[in-house]
Amino acid sequence: MVFGQVVIGPPGSGKTTYCNGMSQFLKLIGRKVAVINLDPANDALPYECSVNIEDLIKLSDVMAEHSLGPNGGLVYCMNYLEKNIDWLESKLKPLLKEHYLLFDFPGQVELFFLHENVKKVIMDLIKKLDLRLTAVHLVDAHLCSDPGKYASALLLSLSTMLHLELPHVNVLSKIDLIESYGKLAFNLDFYTDVQDLSYLQYELGQDPRSAKYRKLTKELCEVIEDYGLVNFTTLDIQDKESVGNLVKLIDKSNGYIFAGIDASAVGFSKLAVGPVDWDYYRYPFSHRLTYKWMPLIESINFKS
């Protein structure tokens, strides 16, 4: 079994920075990590990638050859990737034995809640290579500073969850910057827990521009609440505690935490009902390494 993360989210939400920081963190707690760049629009990669879609297809070539803009070009590239899935599989196979996989995807959100190509690529890899992947959906925390933008982030998160059908963790990224956008209308847990959106409707109703959409907003908020699927965790990629907490959540969602225990029903159930905030010393295979590397984690600069 091979574990990993599918890193998605709108352009600029921090996916590439995340893959860099997350790979460094995971390496320091003893995992061998391979980062796979599937975004042909990523120009300067801060991490060393094991597989790069640029070796298969270049966005600039596609745009020039087919007279497409960047969005159309990316849709073409993902379609091309699906048609050439054998290329990706052959690149991944040598990594499977011992690596944890991080997939850095493009930021065009319609690829993840509307089009089928990326979903088919992910499902194909999961089935053929026996992968256990969690979708990590990054949304820039600054969207919380505007109720309309926050409502659209909720809708985007929900439709992406429903479309991809993967274990899924929604993340408000760049949380370290949240205070720089001014005082939020509500406490942060209002935005992370998504418990009662009636307050949001009130806040939206205050804005004359959105007044005419009041009924639509109400219905959309009810859809989000009725599904009851969306919530967020927060992330500052430079804060080791923040990254560590996210790793715990992801490990629980894709089953990584169960991988090293005896396959007894008692063993599994103990972990399954346990709290999420257990420490790294219990991680399979890595507790000695973790102990050794913890001082280094303290000093790391994930963005460099």
Ligand X SMILES: Nc1nc2c(ncn2[C@@H]2O[C@H](COP(=O)(O)OP(=O)(O)O)[C@@H](O)[C@H]2O)c(=O)[nH]1
Residues forming the site for ligand X (CB under 6 A): 9, 11-17, 107, 173-174, 176-177, 236-237, 303
303 makes contact, choosing from ligand X, Mg ion, none, with CB < 5 to 8 Å by partner type, with: ligand X
Return the number of the residue (178 or 224) whose C-beta is nearest ligand X: 178
106 makes contact, choosing from ligand X, Mg ion, none, with CB < 5 to 8 Å by partner type, with: none
* DSSP for residue 276: S
Return the number of the residue (149 or 218) whose C-beta is nearest ligand X: 149
| Nearest approach, Cβ of residue 204 and ligand X (Å) | 27
- The contact set with Mg ion (CB under 5 A) reads 15-16, 42
Closest alpha carbon to 12 in 235, 191, 177, 174: 174
40 makes contact, choosing from Mg ion, ligand X, none, with CB < 5 to 8 Å by partner type, with: none
| Nearest approach, Cβ of residue 37 and ligand X (Å) | 10
> What six digits make up the tokens of 296?
């280094």
Cβ-based neighbours of 45, under 8 Å, separated by 6 or more: 16, 37, 52
| Whole-angstrom distance, CA of residue 280 vs CA of residue 31 | 12
> What six digits make up the tokens of 152?
């659209």
Return the number of the residue (280 or 302) whose C-beta is nearest ligand X: 302
Closest alpha carbon to 230 in 144, 170, 167: 170
Return the number of the residue (108 or 286) whose C-beta is nearest Mg ion: 108
Angle between helices 214-227 and 147-164 in degrees, nearest 10: 40
Return the number of the residue (43 or 298) whose C-beta is nearest Mg ion: 43
| Cα dihedral 241/244/246/251 (nearest 10) | -160
Return the number of the residue (1 or 177) whose C-beta is nearest ligand X: 177
| Whole-angstrom distance, CA of residue 41 vs CA of residue 58 | 8
Return the number of the residue (16 or 23) whose C-beta is nearest Mg ion: 16
| Whole-angstrom distance, CA of residue 14 vs CA of residue 39 | 13
Q: What are phi and psi for residue 35, nearest 5 degrees? A: -100, 130
| Nearest approach, Cβ of residue 18 and Mg ion (Å) | 9
37 makes contact, choosing from Mg ion, ligand X, none, with CB < 5 to 8 Å by partner type, with: none
173 makes contact, choosing from Mg ion, ligand X, none, with CB < 5 to 8 Å by partner type, with: ligand X
| Nearest approach, Cβ of residue 15 and ligand X (Å) | 3
| Nearest approach, Cβ of residue 55 and ligand X (Å) | 19
| Whole-angstrom distance, CA of residue 51 vs CA of residue 92 | 8
| Nearest approach, Cβ of residue 144 and ligand X (Å) | 14
- Report the largest interatomic distance among the alpha carbons of the chain, rounded to a whole angstrom: 60
14 makes contact, choosing from ligand X, Mg ion, none, with CB < 5 to 8 Å by partner type, with: ligand X
> What six digits make up the tokens of 51?
């597989």
| Nearest approach, Cβ of residue 286 and ligand X (Å) | 24
106: left (phi over 0), alpha (psi -120 to 50) or beta: beta
